[in-house]
């Protein structure tokens, strides 16, 4: 069994895949690629690429590509090259980010630079970025250059977002609009483009492809804000990472920046003191900062922002003119993203 045939009656087709169908489909394709990569020379270039791909969780982005394609076509296979390109690119950014952040672990495995070495990680990442384009070129779209253009513009935006994120490390005066620009570039545009590129691979009407982009963009921002929130307020049992990691590392999250925006001077000083400490008890720091967040109602403020972007996404969703049944899967996706089951 690979997938079930949906029972809904869509306008464009009667074969609508569920999220988990698409996850199964793309996982098989990715596994084939990983197998190939482990058998391609030079081994020190391609095996790390296979290793990086093998660590990838729920394949959210390629699933979005296939889902958007499926809104317009029964044969989601035509979007496989685009889905693989997006997954390769996403994992490339993680690979290089791990070097830059000195992150030794990724999803309970050694990160690539730690398992191999830094030079191999730099070069394998470079190869992944190039290979993403090679996958795109396999796409039988009527306008391949259009697909490559959107992908490439998005890829560059992701780099811009990563640079802004690094720039913010040295700053305490990052405004909320600046922060939203950063997460739009670093996180949201790739989710947005995943949907749009999937639609383009199925030669979808431009208007709907653009709406899917907007839907994904707002969902992506809501997703990242929620990621910030969960770092502090998640249920530790359900949360994959350690609670409070962002607080310990002074990460400029929405929560911290909003706090610095609205806090009185003595509270700001209190936060600055904690940020400047080089030696401290981690639990004590997490507790201290969380108490400030609680005092200032930062959780509710953040939730209101999340809700705003989520609602904007849903409003765009309402306007998308594909059949109601078809749209059900898109909503399933939105739920998947916002419940962080990825």
Q: Does 249 bind its own copies (CB under 8 A)?
A: no
Q: Please identify which residue in 3, 12, 27, 45 interacts with its own copies, judged by CB under 8 A.
A: 45
Does the N-terminal peptide bond of residue 42 adopt cis geometry, omega within 30 degrees of 0? Answer: yes
DSSP helix/strand/coil, 109 = strand
With respect to its own copies, which residue has the nearer C-beta, 181 or 267?
181
With respect to its own copies, which residue has the nearer C-beta, 153 or 297?
153
134 near 92, Cβ under 8 Å?
A: no
Q: Does 133 bind its own copies (CB under 8 A)?
A: yes
What number of chain residues touch its own copies (CB under 8 A)? Answer: 35
From 140-148, 203-211, 252-260, 262-270, span contacting its own copies (CB under 8 A): 140-148
**Distance of alpha carbon 124 from alpha carbon 179, whole angstroms:** 30
**Distance of alpha carbon 110 from alpha carbon 129, whole angstroms:** 21
Q: Does 262 bind its own copies (CB under 8 A)?
A: no
Measured CA angle at 225 (ends 69, 286), to 5 deg: 140
With respect to its own copies, which residue has the nearer C-beta, 168 or 293?
168
Q: Please identify which residue in 122, 248, 301, 338 interacts with its own copies, judged by CB under 8 A.
A: 122
CA nearest to 87, candidates 47, 123, 58: 58
With respect to its own copies, which residue has the nearer C-beta, 46 or 293?
46
Measured CA angle at 197 (ends 215, 29), to 5 deg: 115
DSSP helix/strand/coil, 79 = helix
Return the H-helix or E-strand segment holding 337: helix 324-338
With respect to its own copies, which residue has the nearer C-beta, 104 or 153?
153
User: Closest approach of Cβ 3 to its own copies, in Å?
Assistant: 31
Q: Please identify which residue in 130, 287, 304, 331 interacts with its own copies, judged by CB under 8 A.
A: 130
Q: Does 88 bind its own copies (CB under 8 A)?
A: no
Torsions phi, psi of 237, nearest 5? Answer: -65, -35
Structure tokens at 274: 């904690």
From 16-24, 141-149, 209-217, 265-273, span contacting its own copies (CB under 8 A): 141-149
Residues in region 155-174 near its own copies by CB under 8 A: 155-156, 159-160, 162-164, 166-167
Measured CA angle at 104 (ends 47, 57), to 5 deg: 65
Residues in region 92-121 near its own copies by CB under 8 A: 96, 99-100, 119-120
User: Closest approach of Cβ 208 to its own copies, in Å?
Assistant: 23
194 near 65, Cβ under 8 Å?
A: yes
**Distance of alpha carbon 217 from alpha carbon 226, whole angstroms:** 14
**Distance of alpha carbon 293 from alpha carbon 290, whole angstroms:** 5
User: Closest approach of Cβ 98 to its own copies, in Å?
Assistant: 11
Q: Does 148 bind its own copies (CB under 8 A)?
A: yes
Structure tokens at 218: 């707002």
User: Closest approach of Cβ 95 to its own copies, in Å?
Assistant: 10
Q: Please identify which residue in 57, 142, 145, 173 interacts with its own copies, judged by CB under 8 A.
A: 145
Residues within the interface to its own copies (CB under 8 A)? 41-42, 44-45, 96, 99-100, 119-120, 122-123, 125-127, 129-131, 133-134, 137, 144-145, 148-149, 152-153, 155-156, 159-160, 162-164, 166-167
């Amino acid at each position: 069994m690979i997938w079930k045939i949906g029972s809904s009656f869509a306008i464009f087709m009667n074969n609508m895949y569920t999220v988990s169908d698409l996850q199964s489909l793309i996982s098989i394709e990715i596994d084939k690629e990983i197998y190939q990569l482990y058998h391609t020379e030079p081994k020190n270039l391609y095996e790390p690429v296979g290793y990086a791909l093998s660590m990838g969780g729920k394949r959210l982005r390629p699933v979005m590509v296939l889902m958007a394609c499926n809104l317009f076509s029964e044969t989601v296979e035509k979007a496989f090259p685009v889905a693989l390109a997006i997954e390769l690119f996403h994992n490339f950014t993680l690979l290089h980010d791990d070097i830059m952040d000195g992150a030794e672990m990724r999803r309970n495995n050694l990160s690539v630079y730690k398992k191999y070495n830094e030079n191999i990680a730099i070069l394998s990442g470079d190869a992944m970025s190039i290979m993403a384009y090679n996958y795109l070129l396999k796409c039988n779209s009527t306008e391949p250059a259009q697909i490559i253009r959107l992908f490439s513009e998005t890829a560059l935006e992701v780099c811009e977002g990563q640079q802004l994120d690094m720039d913010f490390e040295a700053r305490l005066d990052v405004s909320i609009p600046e922060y939203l620009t950063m997460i739009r570039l670093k996180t949201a545009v790739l989710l947005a483009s995943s949907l749009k590129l999937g639609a383009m691979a199925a030669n979808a009407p431009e208007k709907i492809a653009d709406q899917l982009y907007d839907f994904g963009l707002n969902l992506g921002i809501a997703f990242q804000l929620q990621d910030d929130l969960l770092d502090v307020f998640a249920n530790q049992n359900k949360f994959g990472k350690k609670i409070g990691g962002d607080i310990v590392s002074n990460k400029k999250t929405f929560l911290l920046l909003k706090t610095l925006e609205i806090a009185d001077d003595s509270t700001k000083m209190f936060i600055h003191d904690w940020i400047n400490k080089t030696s401290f008890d981690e639990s004590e720091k997490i507790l201290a900062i969380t108490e400030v967040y609680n005092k200032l109602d930062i959780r509710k403020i953040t939730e209101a922002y999340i809700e705003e972007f989520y609602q904007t996404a849903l409003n765009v969703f309402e306007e998308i003119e594909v059949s109601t049944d078809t749209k059900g899967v898109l909503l399933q996706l939105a739920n998947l993203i916002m419940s962080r089951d990825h």
